[in-house]
Amino acid sequence: MSKIIYPGMEPVSVSRRRFVQGLVAGGAMMGLGLRANASPDEISKMFGGLETLRGDRFDLTYSPTRVNFTGKERIATAINGGVPAPLLRWKEGDTVTLNVTNNLAEDTSIHWHGLILPSNQDGVPGISDGFKGIKPGETFTYSFPVKQSGTYWYHSHSGFQEQTGAYGAIIVDPIEPPPYKYDRDYVVMLSDWSDEDPNDIYHKLKKLSHYYNFRERTVGETMQEIKEQGWDGFWANRGMWNEMRMSDRDISDVTGYTYTFLTNGKTPAEGWTGLFRKGEKILLRFINSSAMTFFDVRIPGLKMTVVATDGQYIEPVSVDEFRIGVAETYDVLVEPSAEQAYSIFSQAIDRSGFTRGTLTPHPSMTAEVPEMDAAPVLTHGDMGMDMSMMDHGSMAQDMGAMKDAKGSAKKLPEMKCGGNMNMSPPKRSAKKLPEMSCGGNMKMDSRKNMTAAEMGSGKAGYGSSHKVIHADTEYGPHIDMRADAPQYRLDDPGVGLRNNGRRVLTYADLRNLNKTPDPREPGREIDLHLTGNMSRYMWSMNGIKFADAEPLHLKYGERVRINLVNDTMMNHPIHLHGMWSDLETGDAEYIPRKHTVVVQPGAKISYLVTADAMGGWAYHCHLLYHMLGMFRKVVVS
Judged by the rule CB under 8 A, the positions of this chain that interact with other proteins are: 9-10, 124-127, 133, 157-160, 202-204, 206-208, 211, 214-220, 242-245, 476-480, 533, 535-539, 545-548, 627-629, 631
Half-sphere exposure at residue 637, Cβ-oriented, CA atoms within 13 angstroms: 8
Q: How far is the CB of 616 from other proteins (least distance, A)?
A: 11
Tally of CB atoms within 10 A around 48: 16
Strand 552-554, strand 631-636: pairing: parallel
3-state SS class at 305: strand
CA–CA gap between residue 532 and residue 540 (Å, rounded): 6
Is 6 or 590 the residue whose CB approaches other proteins more closely? Answer: 6
Q: How far is the CB of 417 from other proteins (least distance, A)?
A: 31
Q: How far is the CB of 96 from other proteins (least distance, A)?
A: 24
Strand 593-594, strand 559-566: pairing: unpaired
Is 291 or 504 the residue whose CB approaches other proteins more closely? Answer: 291
Is 159 or 165 the residue whose CB approaches other proteins more closely? Answer: 159
Degrees, nearest 5: CA angle 100-101-102: 120
Is 326 or 369 the residue whose CB approaches other proteins more closely? Answer: 326
Degrees, nearest 5: CA angle 190-193-196: 165
Q: How far is the CB of 532 from other proteins (least distance, A)?
A: 10
Q: What is the largest CA-CA distance in the chain?
A: 68
3-state SS class at 319: strand
Q: How far is the CB of 552 from other proteins (least distance, A)?
A: 16
3-state SS class at 604: strand
Is 148 or 352 the residue whose CB approaches other proteins more closely? Answer: 352
Is 263 or 533 the residue whose CB approaches other proteins more closely? Answer: 533
CA–CA gap between residue 459 and residue 157 (Å, rounded): 35
CA–CA gap between residue 88 and residue 170 (Å, rounded): 5
Half-sphere exposure at residue 568, Cβ-oriented, CA atoms within 13 angstroms: 32
Is 211 or 313 the residue whose CB approaches other proteins more closely? Answer: 211
Is 276 or 537 the residue whose CB approaches other proteins more closely? Answer: 537
Q: How far is the CB of 242 from other proteins (least distance, A)?
A: 4
Is 18 or 204 the residue whose CB approaches other proteins more closely? Answer: 204
Q: How far is the CB of 583 from other proteins (least distance, A)?
A: 25
Q: How far is the CB of 426 from other proteins (least distance, A)?
A: 25
CA 306 to chain centre: 15
Per residue, the 3-state secondary structure of 539-585, as one string, reads: EEECCECHHHCCCEEECCCCEEEEEEEECCCCCEEEEECCCCEEECC
Q: How far is the CB of 243 from other proteins (least distance, A)?
A: 4
Is 14 or 547 the residue whose CB approaches other proteins more closely? Answer: 547
CA–CA gap between residue 339 and residue 361 (Å, rounded): 6
**Is the preceding omega at residue 573 within 30 degrees of 0, hence cis?**
no
Q: How far is the CB of 541 from other proteins (least distance, A)?
A: 12
- Write the CA distances from 418 to 379, 501, 563, integer angstroms: 11, 13, 27
Query: Of the candidates 339, 344, 255, which has an alpha carbon nearest to the alpha carbon of residue 293?
Result: 255
Is 13 or 37 the residue whose CB approaches other proteins more closely? Answer: 13
Is 27 or 220 the residue whose CB approaches other proteins more closely? Answer: 220
Is 9 or 365 the residue whose CB approaches other proteins more closely? Answer: 9
Half-sphere exposure at residue 579, Cβ-oriented, CA atoms within 13 angstroms: 30
Q: How far is the CB of 533 from other proteins (least distance, A)?
A: 5
Q: How far is the CB of 578 from other proteins (least distance, A)?
A: 16
Is 504 or 534 the residue whose CB approaches other proteins more closely? Answer: 534
CA–CA gap between residue 21 and residue 40 (Å, rounded): 27
Per residue, the 3-state secondary structure of 87-132, as one string, reads: EEEEECCCEEEEEEEECCCCCECCEEECCCCCHHHCCCCCCCCCCC
Q: How far is the CB of 277 from other proteins (least distance, A)?
A: 45
Q: How far is the CB of 7 from other proteins (least distance, A)?
A: 12
CA–CA gap between residue 628 and residue 206 (Å, rounded): 13
Is 242 or 337 the residue whose CB approaches other proteins more closely? Answer: 242
Q: How far is the CB of 155 from other proteins (least distance, A)?
A: 12
Find out whether 474 and 529 touch, Cβ atoms under 8 Å.
yes
The total number of residues shown for the chain amounts to: 637
Query: What does residue 468 show for φ and ψ, rounded to 5 degrees?
Result: -80, 125
Q: How far is the CB of 74 from other proteins (least distance, A)?
A: 19
CA–CA gap between residue 320 and residue 303 (Å, rounded): 5
In the β-sheet with 184-194, what is the strand arrangement from edge to edge? 259-263, 184-194, 282-288, 329-334, 304-309, 312-319
Is 203 or 555 the residue whose CB approaches other proteins more closely? Answer: 203
In 195-276, DSSP assigns E strands to: 259-263, 272-275
